[in-house]
Structure 1
Amino acid sequence: MDHSKRLAAAAVSLLLAALLPLSGCGGKGTSAAGAAELGGLEVAELRYQGSVGAVTYPELAEDLGYLAPLKLKFIGNTISGPQDIQSVVTGDTDFGGAFNGAIVKLLAAKAQITPVISYYGIDDNTWTGYYVLEDSGIRTAKDLIGKRIAVNTLGAHHEFVIKEYLHREGLTPEEIKQVTLVVVPPVTGEQTLRAKQIDAAALGGVLRDKALERGGIRPLFTDKDLFGTFSAGSYVLTNEFIKNNPNATRKFVEATAKAIEWARTTPREEVIARYEAIIEKRGRKEDASNVKYWKSTGIAGTGGLIAEKEFQTWVDWLVNEGTLKIGELDGKKLYTNEFNPFASDAKP
């Protein structure tokens, strides 16, 4: 299946997901007495998906005591950002996170969700490089025509960044279609590259650092080269959840925002130690070694505040791709900072 057909199929699946009825709204609703015991919260728990060997900011917030009396209910690990937010749409979870471009695509499919807080991004310490072997003949974007690039999933961060790079370097739409994106689990991306089963690979965080230690690879470009410092992904809630559970929504966002700032301002060694302790306590039989390589939140806005450009950039990108019509979506109307306690400190 060529790239254009894959995008069309993805759009159809997203639309179908958006039309599915919600199967849950934040666990069981509480009685008046129960709400009083919960400090006015409408629900007692939030269902979510985690990430193997990693600690999310809501998980950190719960461990730090910021989320109480609201609790998290782990239902499994997500395989990708697009899958995580589709689970929110279908009602299988109450919140999920993904790359902002993927969220825009889901909103274009009429999904009734709202991004409420940023949860990952790009800065001097946290970024992704797109690597080739040291002796590879690939030196420019043109050299990628007819080649294969390993990414963790389609329709998310890596696909948008790669296509933006190719576009900026002057490739035509037809030439860009000849660059094949291959889904490869991130943990095997380096191995697949070194085995020459693919021609380039997206590597970030600990996987990038370990690969660089072994040598023999070089970056063709990085997402920071293209976009600078920015928040790249957000947590979303359904509009129905926000309407029915405004207090729980505020509690979730406030707690997550405080956890982000705790991680931003606490010495790195202490953050890593906390992450290791959380992973050990939850007993999911995970390898916690990767958290030793944690360097920064990467999040641009204080407490995960969302900036208009972090959505408008991808609205414009999808317009240029022909996926959206001009004026179909307005970046500044796609998200809310209403529930973030740091919003009052933000510059107009």
Structure 2
Amino acid sequence: MAAALTSTTTSRRQFLALLGISAAAVSCGTATASGAQIKTLKYQGAVGAVTLPELAADLGYLGDVKLEWVGNTISGPQDIQSAATGQIHFGGAFNGAVVKLASSKAPITSVISYYGTDKDTYSGYYVLEDSPIRTARDLIGKKVGMNTLGAHSQAMLEIYLSRNGVSKADAAKVEALVVPPVNTEQALRQKQIEVAVLGGVLRDKALATGGIRPLFSDFELLGAFSAGSYVMTKRFIKQNPDTVRTFVTAVAKAIEWSRTTPREQVIARMTDIVTKRGRTEDTSTLKYWHSYGVAETGGRISDKEFQLWLDWLGERGEIKEGQLKAADLYTNEFNDHGKG
């Protein structure tokens, strides 16, 4: 397990290298030479989970558009880089990672929100029950385990420290470590880390076991908000507008279906989807599902979803002030949910 823990410096460098692709290296889409629009979208999924596009497909919302699963990922930055370089047709990540990738001149556009934070769906920062950590200053010199660096979890940590008066110099002494999500609870209980970022089913399972308590959560910091979006390349959108419209609107419908359908029915549907795809995945954790956490109706995006991260990355010196405008990073043009 110790080998799975990566230092802040090394992992952050790898993360920045991942996003630091040049515009020249970016493949801008994969429309056919004949001009026919692509109807099969390649994507990456998540083990034991059902993504919104997968749910939309099962509900029949995608019509003649099909999905082609090419593998799984736990990294949003990796997913959107794969979309930017044409390995897949869409990818999803924390909006701060989208801003970072766009700042490297990758020609991508966010088309719909797909996850967020609400009272039931959030990431908590947990310590052991008998931990001496009670305040933000108690984190100085401590290790915080999270799924990836330079993304949602690290942003929330830095915002928490800043709001509680911890200087940048002292905040730099809080060591963020990459720990695979399925191992985070174990790493906390074995005291390899002092704080574990836990969300969704992994959080609920850990709480059911007991012996841990929350320090803070992203919901407590920022309230309900959409945190991540699906991106496509600008060229793909231009060459496949009907496919993009079908995809975005279908995901929007799936968001609202999951929001208005009794939770037990949603979980049953998800369990059936995972079982049918035959990848020998564990479906027991699906019973802990509460929501996708998308704040806006139909996953529509607004400036505020990006401005927070433009400001955060600007303060960190990772993008130039005024380099990007929130309104230039997304479009709702293809989201027909609720129109007419």
Interval of TM-score (by shorter of Structure 1 and Structure 2): over 0.9
Residue deviations 1:294-332, cap 9 Å, x none? 112211011111121110010011111122222111112
Q: Percent of aligned positions with the same letter in both sequences?
A: 58
Q: CA deviation at 1:4?
A: 6.1
- Secondary structure of 1:16's counterpart equals coil
> Structure 1's 344 and 98: CA in aligned 2 closer, same or farther, altered over 3 A?
same
TM-score, normalisation: structure 2: 0.94
Where do 1:1-348 residues align within 5 Å?
3=8, 7=12, 10-16=15-21, 18-22=23-27, 25=30, 29=32, 42-342=37-337, 344=339
Asked whether the 8 Å contact 2:95–2:306 carries over to 1, the reply is yes
2: CA distance between counterparts of 1:105 and 1:343? Answer: 31
TM-score, normalisation: structure 1: 0.92
Q: Which amino acid aligns with 2:312?
A: W
Asked whether the 8 Å contact 1:48–1:93 carries over to 2, the reply is yes
2: CA distance between counterparts of 1:204 and 1:172? Answer: 27
- Secondary structure of 1:249's counterpart equals helix
Q: CA deviation at 1:80?
A: 0.8
> Structure 1's 263 and 188: CA in aligned 2 closer, same or farther, altered over 3 A?
same
Q: CA deviation at 1:31?
A: 5.3
2: CA distance between counterparts of 1:239 and 1:150? Answer: 35
> Structure 1's 317 and 344: CA in aligned 2 closer, same or farther, altered over 3 A?
farther
Q: CA deviation at 1:63?
A: 0.8
Q: CA deviation at 1:139?
A: 0.9
Asked whether the 8 Å contact 2:90–2:232 carries over to 1, the reply is yes
Unaligned runs of 5+ in 2: 1-5
Q: In the comparison of the two structures, how many residue pairs are matched?
A: 335
2: CA distance between counterparts of 1:244 and 1:61? Answer: 23
2: CA distance between counterparts of 1:89 and 1:12? Answer: 14
Higher deviation after alignment, 131-140 or 322-331: 322-331
> Structure 1's 7 and 194: CA in aligned 2 closer, same or farther, altered over 3 A?
closer
Q: CA deviation at 1:19?
A: 3.8
Asked whether the 8 Å contact 2:137–2:166 carries over to 1, the reply is yes
Asked whether the 8 Å contact 2:22–2:105 carries over to 1, the reply is no
Asked whether the 8 Å contact 1:312–1:332 carries over to 2, the reply is no
Provide the aligned C-alpha RMSD in A: 1.9
